[in-house]
Structure 1
Amino acid sequence: MGQARIIVLGSMIDTLTMEESLTRVEYFIENKIPVQHVVVNAGKIVMMQENKKLREIVNSCAMINADGQAVVWAARFLGYNLPERVAGIDLMMEILKMANRKGYRIFLLGATEEIIQATTKKILNLFPNITIAGYRNGYWSEQEESQVIKMIADSKADILFVGISSPKKEFWLAENIEKLNVPFCMGVGGSFDVIAGKTKRAPVWMQKAGLEWFYRFIQEPRRMWKRYLIGNSKFIWLVLKEKFLQLTKIGGPS
């Protein structure tokens, strides 16, 4: 099942709408093809500039969505046709709706024990027909690694949501995806915190204005200032640098 891909600042991105993304997710699940899904935002693209391993893993994923509005704007500024933002948490919620409707089995991995339990409870409240194949917090020792993998594989889950920070979740999924034996594996970062109610998501108008990062920043300024203020500045510089290189070449982006 092919799709158009663009390359923005070294990161491949699928030019998919939300509806098209869900069609692809269903295809992977129905055909039981173990795949790794990833979303990219400005911060991750900046991280990929210096982390070759992360860049290779992201670009090898079967499905790559543009999570941040800044990525959509950057792509269009550089001359590429990227139809819309497909935020990770929005895609996750739509996949949960699909699972509730079609009977797909869900496994939740990540966050603290308190958060993962609250997330599981909230999902069951929102989607009463959904099947939670299992859940586990995101903290384990090296000795427990094989037990975690076996727990997921034995659950017969159709979908695995991994709520662990980047780049740890990308590395872990890439290394273990064949052992997990789950058709669709998706890293969801801090989405469990949002679902559980630990952190609030920005109002829709801020999301559309590309200010969701700022809303997140003002909630936890001490923890987030470096990621957003420095990271966003680096991203803007990379975009402007790429635009300058385009303008010095005949024909612009290919």
Structure 2
Amino acid sequence: MRRPFIGIDFDPLDTDAAAAWLARITPATPFSYVVTPNVDHLVRLEALGERAPLGRELWQAYRGAALTLCDSRVLARLARFYGIALPLAPGSDLTVRLFDEVAQPGDRIAIIGGDAALLAALRARFPALDLVQHVPPMGMLRDPTALAAATAFGRDSGARFLLLAVGSPQQEVLAARIAADGGAHGCALCIGASLDFITGRQRRAPLAVQKLGLEWAHRLASQPGRLWRRYLVDGPRIFRLAHRWHRGQRR
């Protein structure tokens, strides 16, 4: 049974359970998709609201996901403070498990995002997999032609797994567009920068730092110019959102 927290209904699955769920997907399975909300995602959802077209479409995308997994230790601990147990299933960990355990030789894995060098690195590391890629332009959500092309690629890819690596909110909107288009099969995962970690283009925080819930601080130190506002200005709003949500539940 899903567990609601700050407007999102989370599936109570950890990484092991989510990997087992993915293992049941076949290339003929009717299309579904997985989202992994974190603090940044929930703050964005609240800021956009549901009145503007993008906000409305993004909320619908999260609600339409087959699996909604908690990606953030900070979010999981905040939920626990309010008496809600959200098992942790970080998208980066789940992507590693997909490549190392779930995917079988000959499986087609389609990627939307990244670049040619990323695809080459993945093919070198996983030569038994059939890896294909579509690279959309920057600002895809503002380009109807580019969004339609990415949707068509995902729909027609014939992949067991479709990895959407174009960042939030683009990847969630794209997943919902593919689902609404009809005719797709397999499962899409909204994975952000997970492939950069697998190929070594970016380094994740040491495991001890992750367990302390400070992976955000490691990322901030690695890319302060790009991430300072996300983590130091926008991110703390999650505490106010959680408190307001909890008050609403008590009423």
The answer, yes or no, to whether TM exceeds 0.5 is yes
Give the distance between the partners of 1:180 and 1:74, measured in 2 at CA: 39
2:79 is the counterpart of 1:75: yes
Give the distance between the partners of 2:18 and 2:235, measured in 1 at CA: 26
Amino acid at match of 2:65: C
What's the TM-score, normalizing by structure 2? 0.85
Task: Give the alignment's Cα RMSD to 1 decimal.
Answer: 2.3
Shift of 1:127: 2.8
- Residue 65 of structure 1 corresponds to 69
Alignment of 1:68-107 (within 5 A): 68-82=72-86, 84-101=87-104, 103-107=106-110
1:29 partner SS: coil
Taking structure 1 as reference, are residues 175 and 153 closer, same or farther at Cα in structure 2, changes over 3 Å only?
Answer: closer
Taking structure 1 as reference, are residues 43 and 124 closer, same or farther at Cα in structure 2, changes over 3 Å only?
Answer: same
- Residue 127 of structure 2 corresponds to 128
Bigger Cα displacement from structure 2, 50-59 vs 61-70: 50-59
Q: Deviations over 1:117-155 (max 9, x none)?
A: 3332333333332221x1122317644555444444443
1:36 partner SS: strand
Shift of 1:161: 0.3
Bigger Cα displacement from structure 2, 192-201 vs 205-214: 192-201
Taking structure 1 as reference, are residues 149 and 175 closer, same or farther at Cα in structure 2, changes over 3 Å only?
Answer: closer
What's the TM-score, normalizing by structure 1? 0.84
1:222 partner SS: helix
Bigger Cα displacement from structure 2, 199-208 vs 20-29: 20-29
Q: Deviations over 1:141-186 (max 9, x none)?
A: 6445554444444431111001112111111221123456131011
8 Å contact from structure 1 (residues 158, 183) kept in 2: yes
- Residue 227 of structure 2 corresponds to 224
Shift of 1:245: 5.6
Matched positions, count: 239
The match for 2:33 among 6, 27, 36 is 36
Bigger Cα displacement from structure 2, 143-152 vs 37-46: 143-152
Alignment of 1:101-116 (within 5 A): 101=104, 103-111=106-114, 113=115
Give the distance between the partners of 2:12 and 2:189, measured in 1 at CA: 18
2:166 is the counterpart of 1:164: yes
Q: Deviations over 1:3-24 (max 9, x none)?
A: x211111011100021211222
Shift of 1:63: 0.4
Amino acid at match of 2:41: K
The match for 1:138 among 120, 136, 140 is 136
2:24 is the counterpart of 1:20: no
1:66 partner SS: coil
Give the distance between the partners of 1:199 and 1:38, measured in 2 at CA: 21
Shift of 1:187: 1.1
